[in-house]
Amino acid sequence: MRILVTKMVKIPENCIVQQKGKVFTFQGPKGVLEEDCTRHMLTFDIYEGCIRIRLWNANRKAAAFATTAESLLRNCIKAVTVGFAFTMKAVYNHFSINFEVQENGKVLLVKNFLGEKNVKKFIMRGVAKVKLGTAKDTLVIEGPSLSDVSQSAGTITNLCKAKNRDSRIFLDGIFVVEKGVMA
């Protein structure tokens, strides 16, 4: 059992961090993000250009949770400074999959998936936005929040699968091919 566990997250120059209790607001060139840490039984403060995370009388699991909180805050800083982008590709054998982006990148319509007449509508989660990629049959989902971008990409992947068909033959779908930072 450790008496004190301390983790430090360095704040870069192009990021502004404000703290109110256990709620952090991150401002950077890619946007504004708010992280609520009230559910964490940790002590947070801004100390010498870093976010200091402290935990007293920690067992092994609690100390591991301090590391998890550190990585969450580090991802928020990375999100507002460089952003996150997932590139997705439509894979099809016979029926071509068509995309349409509406409402300034907040809504994606998938048409002609496996020859279906109905249109699949996806609303991007949170601050994530979708745009058509430069290559054929590609999408780029980008935004300052990793959880919003990855959850939107995962929803599209899960709902664009061939159901009630042999998965060895029907390989059609929309899949994530690259994860990176915003351009």
Closest alpha carbon to 86 in 32, 15, 167, 155: 155
Dist CA 45 CA 56 (whole Å): 15
Dist CA 93 CA 84 (whole Å): 30
Instruction: Please check the confidence at residue 140 and state whether its pLDDT lies above 90.
Output: yes
The confidence band for 8, taking pLDDT boundaries of 50, 70 and 90, is very high
pLDDT tens profile 35-66: 898 888 899 999 999 999 999 988 888 888 89
Instruction: Please check the confidence at residue 183 and state whether its pLDDT lies above 80.
Output: no
Please name each of the domains of the chain with its CATH number: 2-81 (3.90.930.12), 84-180 (3.90.930.12)
> Under a CB-based contact definition with an 8 Å cutoff, are residues 30 and 82 in contact?
yes
The confidence band for 169, taking pLDDT boundaries of 50, 70 and 90, is confident
For residue 133, what are the contacts with CB-CB under 8 A and spacing of at least 6? 87, 139, 140
Q: What is the mean pLDDT of the chain?
A: 90
The whole-number pLDDT of residue 176 equals 95
> Under a CB-based contact definition with an 8 Å cutoff, are residues 153 and 105 in contact?
no
Give pTM, 2 decimals.
0.80
**Residue 53, CA distances (Å) to 8, 12, 38, 48, 154 in order:** 6, 17, 13, 13, 31
For residue 173, what are the contacts with CB-CB under 8 A and spacing of at least 6? 90, 91, 157, 160, 161, 162
The whole-number pLDDT of residue 23 equals 93
